[in-house]
């Protein structure tokens, strides 16, 4: 029988793209199929699949960076505790687990970080994601922890799926003559379909278990990202660079958190991926 992958959070932005790249070999579950907070149900349902499972791919997360400052309990449950339970379930069943983390686990002076760099999470969101990494590592040896950053791409099917920066900028530019974007926060940037394809390669190539950094090549500030969006779409909206102190947000963010990929073939530049996305999407 053909091996399948089980994708949790399949109606989110990344989950939706993973469903596409794995096609008929994917089983997708979202909240209505299995609420991951009901961990005994989760264990029972995975066990009950009665199909050879190549990997469980966990895309479920609490992704509201500012919201996590207040809603620490749910952020910790979804980002730290559930991944630990899931890792244990996978270990018991002998199934590899793919889990996603964030560039925000790095937040010191260095700015660029290889896979083995020391984490330094500052915000509640970043702390909960880092705890999730540790919980996965502590409960199974067969794990792929994939750190990624600033996802964009087609919106997830779920109503709550996070709006990407691309949608946000295009929306703002259609309503305002001037748009402000933060120029002193720099991140890696990632096209969700490229990440999904790279995750499939990771599994198909049976890469060694461990921590991987998967983003598009290059990096940019929010201002650089917005400028590229407006250039590609021919928007004439004025774009104003502003310091992060101009935007009052609950959570602290790193000044520069670029993920260095030292283990895998690099993906194309984020600008190329963005051009492909915008040229195929009607705005
Ligand atoms: N988005 C980014 O910029 C970014 C950056 C770095 C890392 N990441 C990481 O990449 C991964 C994928 O992110 P994403 O942006 O694709 O996430 P997303 O769009 O927010 O999708 C998360 C999915 O999980 C589902 N979910 C939430 N609570 C659940 C529960 N209790 N039971 C079952 N399903 C539940 C959500 O359903 P509902 O909508 O119904 O809640 C949603 O479909 C996450 O680990 C995230 O932390 C993302």
Tens of pLDDT along the chain (283 residues) come to 679 999 999 999 999 999 999 999 999 999 999 999 999 999 999 999 988 999 999 999 999 999 999 999 999 999 999 999 999 999 999 999 999 999 999 999 999 999 999 999 999 999 999 999 999 999 999 999 999 999 999 988 877 777 789 999 999 999 999 999 999 999 999 999 999 999 999 999 999 999 999 999 999 999 999 999 999 999 999 999 999 999 999 999 999 999 999 999 999 999 999 999 998 765 5
pLDDT at 282: 55
Q: By the 8 A CB rule, do 34 and 77 touch? A: no
Does the C-beta of 13 come closer than 6 Å to ligand 1? yes
Q: Which of 62, 104, 113, 125 is catalytic?
A: 125
Q: Give the architecture-level CATH label for domain 4-152+188-213.
A: 3-Layer(aba) Sandwich (3.40)
Which ligand 1 atom sits nearest the alpha carbon of residue 13?
A: 16
Residue 125: active-site member: yes
Does the C-beta of 149 come closer than 6 Å to ligand 1? yes
Does the C-beta of 102 come closer than 6 Å to ligand 1? yes
d(CA 138, CA 100): 16
H helices within the chain, ranges in order? 13-22, 39-47, 67-70, 72-76, 82-93, 124-139, 165-175, 192-204, 222-233, 270-280
* Entry pTM: 0.97
d(CA 80, CA 71): 14
Which ligand 1 atom sits nearest the alpha carbon of residue 129?
A: 47
pLDDT at 155: 86
Does the C-beta of 14 come closer than 6 Å to ligand 1? yes
For the chain, what are the domain ranges? 4-152+188-213, 165-187+219-256+264-280
- The CATH code belonging to domain 165-187+219-256+264-280 is 3.90.25.10
């Amino acid at each position: 029988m053909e091996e399948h992958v089980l994708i949790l959070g399949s109606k989110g932005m990344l989950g939706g793209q993973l469903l596409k790249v794995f096609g008929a070999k994917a089983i997708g579950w979202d909240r209505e199929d299995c609420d991951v907070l009901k961990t005994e149900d989760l264990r029972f349902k995975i066990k009950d699949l009665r199909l050879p499972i190549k990997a469980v791919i966990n895309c479920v997360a609490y992704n509201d960076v500012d919201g996590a400052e207040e809603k620490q309990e749910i952020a910790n449950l979804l980002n730290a505790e559930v991944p630990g339970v899931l890792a244990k379930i996978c270990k018991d069943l002998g199934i590899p687990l793919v889990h996603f983390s964030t560039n925000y686990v790095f937040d010191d002076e260095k700015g660029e970080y290889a896979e083995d760099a020391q984490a330094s999470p500052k915000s509640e969101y970043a702390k909960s994601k880092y705890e999730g990494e540790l919980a996965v590592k502590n409960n199974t040896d067969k794990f792929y922890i994939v750190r990624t950053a600033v996802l964009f791409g087609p919106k997830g099917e779920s109503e709550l799926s996070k709006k990407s920066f691309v949608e946000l900028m295009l929306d703002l530019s259609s309503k305002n003559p001037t748009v402000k974007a933060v120029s002193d926060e720099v991140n890696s940037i990632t096209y969700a379909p490229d990440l999904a394809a790279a995750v499939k390669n990771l599994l198909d190539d049976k890469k060694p278990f461990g921590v991987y950094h998967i983003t598009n090549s290059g990096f940019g500030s929010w201002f650089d990202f917005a400028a590229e969006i407006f250039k590609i779409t021919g928007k004439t909206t004025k774009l104003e660079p502003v310091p992060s102190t101009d935007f009052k947000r609950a959570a602290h963010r790193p000044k520069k958190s670029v993920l260095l990929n030292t283990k895998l073939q690099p993906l194309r530049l984020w600008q190329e991926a963005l051009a492909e996305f915008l040229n195929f999407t009607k705005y």
